[in-house]
Structure 1
Amino acid sequence: MALSSSHIKRLATAGVLIAGLVTCLVIGGFAHYVLVGTATFIALWEFYGLFSLPLHARLGGMALYGLMLTATYFFGPMAGFIVALLSFWFVNIAYMFICGEELQPDVPSRYSTHLVMPAGLVYVGCSILTFLIMTPAEAALVIVLTAVSDSAAYYAGSYIGGPKIWPSISPKKTWAGSVGSVVATALVALAAGMILGEHFPGLESLHWSILPAIGAALAVAAQLGDFFESALKRTIGVKDASNLLPGHGGLLDRIDGMLLAAPTYVLLCYALPRVTAILG
């Protein structure tokens, strides 16, 4: 079956993105930070745009993320997470001083709007920051597995069809696509672990038989991340976060699954060796 122009555009854009990602990850070091920082600044700007945040608030959020990234570069990821937490409190304290004399019964809606800035730092900033906890090989693994999950879901859902998962949030996603995503990602994770296992220190203490489960978990996480961004866009009433990437919408639309898959990988690498040691 011939590929449609939309499929060709989608694949071409994905190819360019993957080539850039692989280049930065292979170089490693400062290039790794540049990759993470650039992706986050773009996705964060798109996130703030979804909520029509005023320019000064957007710039304030970007500045706080710059501080997070700088703290991470010099002192490690934990410093970046602490800056994110302090940013939440900074915004809360600023809210008291700015709005404290004008509080009205509509304060819940006003406060929720006020929290968009620190929410972006957590949702986009901290999620992408977890890539800096990984080695370049592990970051590449998560990116590839997320891409496999997304592509398998798209094509399995397109060609098999069937019942929808959650039509009120994402009308096109099917159970067939979801299952295809989990199976494909589990198989790729197994192959990657067996061939390149020594490059993934977070997985080195685990038996190869657990790798399909890790791949499946990342596929589920990526799908949930995708659903969440779809729910945001449906609530706001927009189709894409931006039109930056042909065939994909905005960068946030492209990496929404990674925003949950990356911290899920870090959590699994931390928890599974400890659980297996306890069990024996």
Structure 2
Amino acid sequence: MDISPHKKRIATSIGLAILPALALFFQGWVLFTVLSLFSVLTLWEFYSMFRPVQSMTAFKSLGAAFTFLLLGAFTTGKVQYPAVVLLIAFWAAGFVFLVRYNKDVTASYRHAAIFLAGLIYIPLNFHFFLTMSPWGIILVILAAAASDTAAFYSGSLWGKKKIWPRVSPKKSWAGSIGGLTVCMGAVTAYGMTFGLAEVAWWKWLLLGALLNIAAQFGDFFESALKRTLDIKDSGVILPGHGGLLDRVDSLLLAAPTFGIISLFHPFFK
């Protein structure tokens, strides 16, 4: 039976929601395991975007190992542990580069830089989920989903004037404003229902705006990255969606945005 791309997109979105729902229900090591595995798969996909893939093989394996180490270091509550892991990752990449340079003086440091950028881009940003309450995690996912869904439909209906056609030809001002409006409304409704009573409504509106802007820029960043690499999707693992990175690009900036804001202003117990 033939399934339309739109129906595939909806079915995949529902399927993707099951894992975080289970992780939120069990918390603890379940959340850590799900987040770690998801980070490894997304990071592996990120490295695979840089051709030729064979030249990234050693760094892909290192990246998987350091993802678990980095996320595990954050669970200790010791600030210096994640810094030590990143420092070791830097010198591990340097060692691989030295070995390659010893064999071939034309060897480039490019792949070592990609390896380090991947660790910062994915597990380092994702670690903020480990610092959030279940209510905070749901809020961030809700904000990203509301932004993406509203932007898709409002852009499809009314989108004519494009924002950054060179970066993302399909994204329009109508889609952007629609996503912003719905995200602000969704975050405010959710926050006023489940958040701290002392948080004023206008603060939820402002938070919704900031999360939407972060989600949009996260999306734009990945779009520009794919264009520089001349690829359409980051992968093919998700029917109707493309790759994992195509689905979580907005979360990769929305999560640290909420995590950092929450350091200065709590929104949930």
Same fold (TM over 0.5): yes
Letter in 2 for 1:130: F
Indicate how the Cα distance of structure 1 residues 176 and 150 shifts in structure 2: closer, same or farther if over 3 A, else same.
same
**Structure 1 residue matching 2:258: 3-state secondary structure:** helix
Letter in 2 for 1:44: L
Cα offsets for 1:97-145 (capped at 9, x unmatched) = 43666897x78xx223321111110001101111101112211110111
Structure 2 matches for 1:105-184, cutoff 5 A? Answer: 110-184=108-182
Indicate how the Cα distance of structure 1 residues 135 and 258 shifts in structure 2: closer, same or farther if over 3 A, else same.
same
Letter in 2 for 1:48: Y
Q: Percent identity?
A: 38
Q: Which runs of 5+ in 1 are unaligned?
A: 199-203, 274-280
Give distance in 2, aligned partners of 1:145 and 1:151.
10
Structure 2 matches for 1:196-235, cutoff 5 A? Answer: 196-198=194-196, 206-235=199-228
Aligned to 1:69: 71
Give distance in 2, aligned partners of 1:205 and 1:119.
39
CA RMSD of aligned residues (A): 2.2
Give distance in 2, aligned partners of 1:270 and 1:222.
19
Q: Which runs of 5+ in 2 are unaligned?
A: none
Give distance in 2, aligned partners of 1:13 and 1:77.
37
Asked if the contact 1:24/1:32 (under 8 Å) is kept, the reply is yes
Letter in 2 for 1:195: T
Aligned to 1:54: 56
Letter in 2 for 1:215: G
Letter in 2 for 1:61: G
Compute the displacement of 1:272 (Å): 4.5
Aligned to 1:10: 9
* TM-score (norm: length of structure 1): 0.86
Asked if the contact 2:94/2:112 (under 8 Å) is kept, the reply is no
Give distance in 2, aligned partners of 1:77 and 1:195.
33
Indicate how the Cα distance of structure 1 residues 18 and 212 shifts in structure 2: closer, same or farther if over 3 A, else same.
same
Higher helix share: 1
Indicate how the Cα distance of structure 1 residues 87 and 150 shifts in structure 2: closer, same or farther if over 3 A, else same.
farther
* TM-score (norm: length of structure 2): 0.89
Indicate how the Cα distance of structure 1 residues 101 and 8 shifts in structure 2: closer, same or farther if over 3 A, else same.
closer
